[in-house]
Amino acid sequence: MNEDQNNFNNGSGGGDKRPNRGPATAMMIAIAVIMTIAVIALMNNAVRGVTYQETPYNVFYDHLKNGEVESVTYKESRIDYTLKDDKESSDTIVGKKTYFTGSVPDYDLVPELKEKGVTINGYIPNNSGSVLSFILVWVMPIVLVFLLMIFMSRRLGRGGGIMGIGKSNAKIYEQKDTGVTFKDVAGQDEAKESLVEVVDFLHHPGKYTGIGAKLPKGALLVGPPGTGKTLLAKAVAGEAGVPFFSLAGSDFVEMFVGVGASRVRDLFSEAQKKAPAIIFIDEIDAIGKSRDSRFGGNDEREQTLNQLLAEMDGFDSSKGVFILAATNRPDVLDKALLRPGRLDRRVIVDKPDLKGRLETLKVHAKNVRLDDTVDLEEIALATSGAVGSDLANMINEAAIAAVKQRRKAVSQADLWEAVEVVVAGKEKKDRILSEEEKKTVAYHEVGHALVTAVSKNSEPVQKITIVPRTMGTLGYVMQVPEEEKYLMNKDEMISRLTTLLAGRAAEEIVFNKMTTGAANDIEQATKLARAMITQYGMSDEFGLMGLETVEDKYLEGRSVLNCSEATSALIDNEIKNMLKKCYDKAKGILTENRRVLDAIASHLFEKETITGKEFMEIFNREKNTIPETI
């Protein structure tokens, strides 16, 4: 949706839409006043035609002794004087040049001036200069600070002036502006079912109030990034055809304490005026963090949260105001925000399953021209763990690839390449490996694939490549499951560990050396082995003890140990033993099948990329040397 085409109002809407030029006008007037005062002062000096030149006191005294001084004017700390026959007088505009020298304690000077017939003038202070100084030093800074405060308040209030600093800046979308309905949301059937009744209540409130039912005041959309939480909120508004107030949690937070609370009051006031309406607060964790000291204190954020809680208690849901909020950090939200009567319904928007991925691919591909080779179900099967935004990106990358190759339709090959681009990045054509490095990478990848082919509990190989990619990989093995799985047993996980460590095992067997290419494999293997021991109860040493919990499961999925340091050391030791067993197992498999390893690696070295079919042809040709299972 193009936001430039959205019709939205700040605050209550209506009123004069002309830009407010008050601060700019005041600033221009102040600058004009300063310039006028300066010009008047300069003109005053010019009219008097005064040109000053400093001289030492002894020069002045020499002029006096020679009878050249015409007049003398005493000032606070200096003496101004003019000469009778000054040859440079013609250089001035009006009158003669005035010389000045510093005043010294010479008590004989006045009698001598009288003796020489010099005109003596006293010093009369000029009040206009002090007035100008007062204006410049005191008045103008105060005026400028005042104008700056007005300017800042207008910026903070988004055009609302000093009294508008707390105005809500929520965007109000009409039904035609969202352009999204439930038909545009795929792969989230359970989430849509939870929100359908909200739409029905907004359309037919009497049907529910007649039996005494009350609409929940709010719902919290929870899930990983990219799963479609914001899209679902827009779909609810599009289906209901009611005003949709959309803003992010960070829009409430400002520098001044109380601004966020004022904006919350204004937002709910506007929503109740336009009821039935939907308020959508994206990333609500920005203002809804727990007030527990563990997460740090912030007066502005806490006041905003308190006001939000009060407003959610204060409005009557029967009037048709419904609150939708979205976050991927539900664990940090304040408990008061999640209790019944506020955001009392939690809607999980999780990663789609196989059916959901297929439906999502169909939604994003409906406006893309596809040829007869395309099989979206095959792509959905290969993209386990992908979210809606990933799948949309894959379809778009495939369409771009087809255009680059000057074809009028997207093929299955384009889609497979798009999957690889999203997962591993684009091919790095400028990175040329040496022959030794290329051979090492070939054996490393074939080591992974060969152990996979021999293992009973592993996924079949789709593709092997040693072409470097932009995300740092020098090669990889693509595996595609035959069916969607939701559980893994211990044997499957051991096979996975053995496969991950098979690349390093192949390097040691063939070249008798270790390289940095196994860094990612070791990291994944260690993480999986730790999870088996601490979370899944697959440890011989600890049995069914839960030694670790997962935090931020919708983001990083960071694990935190719940045990003593002594137990942690035992866990590390068991992880090391488990990985060593799997590594030895991988070395044993590859040693027994060295002929097949050499044959496939040689073919991959020449071709750089081979399909799973080519791999299995060579494997079957040499299978008499490979045991059936491990």
* Residues tagged active-site: 445
Note whether 367 and 399 are within 8 A (CB): no
DSSP strands (E only) in 475-574: 476-479, 548-551, 558-561
Rg for the chain, CA atoms, rounded:
41
Bridging pattern class, strands 69-74 and 78-83? antiparallel
Q: Which distant-in-sequence residues (6+ apart) come within 8 Å of 3 by Cβ?
A: 171
SS3 83: strand
Alpha helices for 49-172 (secondary structure H)? 57-65, 109-116, 127-134, 140-156
Secondary structure, 3-state, 264-303? HHHHHHHHHHCCCEEEEEECCHHHHECCCHHHCCCHHHHH
Which H/E stretch holds residue 445? helix 435-454
- Euclidean distance between CA atoms 187 and 200, whole angstroms: 21
Whether a cis peptide bond, with omega within 30° of 0, leads into 19 is no
- Euclidean distance between CA atoms 337 and 218, whole angstroms: 10
